[in-house]
Amino acid sequence: MSEDRKENANPEKTCCSSKKTFSTILKFILGLVFLVLGGWLIIKFWGELFVIIKGCIGLFLLLVGLVTLAIARE
């Protein structure tokens, strides 16, 4: 009997609000739009993106080396 009271004590949690559902659907659609646009831009600017990636390899390795030395120093 006490279990019945606990279940019915807060009826708002058992029912989904339309505002929350709309917000979730909007976020999902917006996420898909961003994924499509991001993929399209990567394909469109692949040459420029590849130059940037190649240019960042040195910086990345420098930072990895600094982090490794900081860890080894401890």
Whether residue 65 is predicted with pLDDT greater than 90 in this model: the reply is yes
Q: Residue 37 half-sphere exposure, CB side, CA atoms within 13 Å?
A: 6
Structure pTM? 0.54
pLDDT at 18: 86
The Cα–Cα gap between 57 and 14 comes to 52
pLDDT digits (tens, 9 = 90+) for 13-61: 555 688 899 999 999 999 999 999 999 999 999 999 999 999 999 999 9
Predicted pLDDT at 74: 83
Alpha helices by DSSP H, listed for the chain, are 2-9, 18-44, 46-73
